[in-house]
Amino acid sequence: MSSTAGQVIKCRAAVAWEAGKPLAMEEVEVAPPKAMEVRLKILYTSLCHTDVYFWEAKGQTPVFPRIFGHEAGGVVESVGDGVTDLSPGDHVLPIFMGECKECAHCKSQESNMCDLLRINTDRGVMISDGQSRFSINGKPIYHFLGTSTFSEYTVVHAGCVAKINPLAPLDKVCVISCGISTGYGATVNVAKPPKGSTVAVFGLGAVGLAAAEGARASGASRIIGVDINPKRFEEAKKFGVTEFVNPTDYDRPVQEVLAEMTNGGVDRSIECSGSTSAMTSAFECVHDGWGVAVLVGVPHKDAVFKTHPVNFLVERTLKGTFYGNYKPLSDIPAVVEKYMAKELELEKFITHSVPFSEINKAFDYMLKGESLRCIIRMDG
């Protein structure tokens, strides 16, 4: 065991005190892990749009003060009682949803929606005792998505920690813990485009580009990127996108444009923007008889989208997926191995890097639309 096991650790954390205000670098106290918990030393973390969305506190319950961050890589510092699959020194990825391996979802081959450890964006405490493991001067600082990786040390439920190959570079594979797996898995695990098929990807942010990467890996012959920001088109070519459609260039629904381009509709579509209009378009643009649309983007909590029931009756299929249908503990180590075997490229998703002390720059890059993924080096 490490020399700090069982002790409170003081370390730096980037704390969000209120919505939309720059994160403040603070000294926080991180309590030891309790039963079925693990304390991690975070070495690299990156900024995902979900962090920005909840930092802005638009459309959901605000929870502050809070430590954001959920896409990261690090090592196990110490483990709590009952943890048998992880040991100090293990290289790991903390993941915002978990795998208890006991519930019906975890035992199912079809689902990754663990009953115990599924995502809860409103919860700012540990599930075992309803308490935070972070504090400043005795006052709690709340967790985010059970991970809170914008801290040099964090405490995570053991079921949300994937043990990976220690040779894998954490400054690269950290992006697997959220966005890249979400998009890539949505294509290869859920949409499953046949070789030679045509795939439309709605939203060309990091998740959408990962979906495109999955389409290319599956052997799609045409990958059509749909986005209202034409500045994203050139970058998307690196990810296999062959054609581009900007919905604002047309005075008719984009699904009609896509159907005309593809002789009746695309074989598969993956929606990665969270826009309800894009969801409708993604479903209605797939070919009748065999087309499959997959929803990935997370909409506003009050959002609804409409389509005519006939679109289902003519044998179009609509699916949803969460985290690319990957089970965090069982599947993610193999995704890391895909990178190690050069079957999955991660470097092209990483557009920026900043030291931890300059974490607010990462927010600036994303808010300006300049970055896909910005790696934050915790030692800086």
Closest by CA to 42, choosing from 63, 21, 16, 67, is 67
Q: Cα separation of 285 and 268, whole Å?
A: 9
Which of 11, 26, 118, 243 is labelled catalytic?
118
Assign residue 20 a region: left if phi > 0, alpha if psi is -120 to 50, beta otherwise?
A: left
- Catalytic residue at 49? yes
- Catalytic residue at 12? no
Helix (H) / strand (E) containing 284: helix 276-284
- Catalytic residue at 70? yes
- Catalytic residue at 160? no
- Catalytic residue at 100? yes
Phi, psi of 25 (to 5 degrees): -75, 120
- Catalytic residue at 50? yes
Do the Cβ atoms of 376 and 355 come closer than 8 Å?
yes
Which of 37, 99, 114, 285 is labelled catalytic?
114
Which of 45, 99, 100, 160 is labelled catalytic?
100
- Catalytic residue at 71? yes
Which of 37, 39, 48, 105 is labelled catalytic?
48
Which of 11, 26, 29, 49 is labelled catalytic?
49
Q: Cα separation of 19 and 56, whole Å?
A: 5
- Catalytic residue at 316? no
Which of 4, 11, 29, 103 is labelled catalytic?
103
* Cα torsion through 238, 335, 208, 320, rounded to 10: 150
- Catalytic residue at 118? yes
Which of 77, 105, 106, 268 is labelled catalytic?
106
Do the Cβ atoms of 293 and 271 come closer than 8 Å?
yes
Rg (CA), the chain: 21
Question: Which residues are annotated as catalytic?
Answer: 48-50, 70-71, 100, 103, 106, 114, 118, 178, 373
